Amino acid sequence: MRLHPDGWPFIALAMALNTFLFVLAGWYGLVLLPITLWCIAFFRDPDRNIPDGEGLVVSPADGVLLPVAQASPPDELGMGPAPRTRLSIFMNVFNVHVNRMPAGGTVLKLAYRPGRFVNASFDKASEHNERMSIRLALNGGRELAVVQIAGLVARRIRCDLREGEMVRRGARFGIIRFGSRLDVYLPDGAEVAVQDGARVKAGETVLARLA
């Protein structure tokens, strides 16, 4: 099973504690085994079947789709105040946390902003929480934004993108530990293809279609 590189220090620490407790207390050391197994599962990075087709926007994360909203992209991206359709995916601590690009294009701007760590399922998390915002110019000329947002127990956002980089739909681009949220701000005219509460998979589930 493929694992994200960020996970190895945590997995090694959990295994070391497990081994130490087993040596110290015998079979009672197995009490930490579920934590070690969860740590391995958290950082799993499975392959995904990326859908083909023009104008598709796929989910950047595994999780549950929160209610669709109209909201302005983060100010730091410079995309203007006009509201756009915002699709938000909430990841709990049992979801795959490797993030994937929702569409192909060119990374125009990256903007990190520190903030709070309220529950990522709350609407105010998009505005107040720590976040990494990405402005993406799509291959057809339009733009969308994707935002990594820290959650209640998330304290580390990793984004491997660079400004000016060309990316493919479904390509891996980062991870958030532990439990978090991703927002996608769609271009005008996009047709949402999923319903509130739907369970989505990063790189596989089609969230929207561009006209």
Active-site positions?
A: 180
- The alpha carbon of residue 203 and the mean position of all alpha carbons in its chain are separated, in whole angstroms, by 11
Q: What's the start-to-end Cα distance of the chain, in Å?
A: 38
The phi and psi torsions of 129 (rounded to 5 degrees) equal: -80, 160
Residue 125 in contact with residue 153, Cβ under 8 Å? no
Please count the CA atoms within 13 angstroms of the CA of 54 that sit on its side-chain side: 3
Residues 6+ away with beta carbon under 8 Å from 145: 73, 74, 77, 79, 84, 133, 134, 135, 136, 183, 184, 185
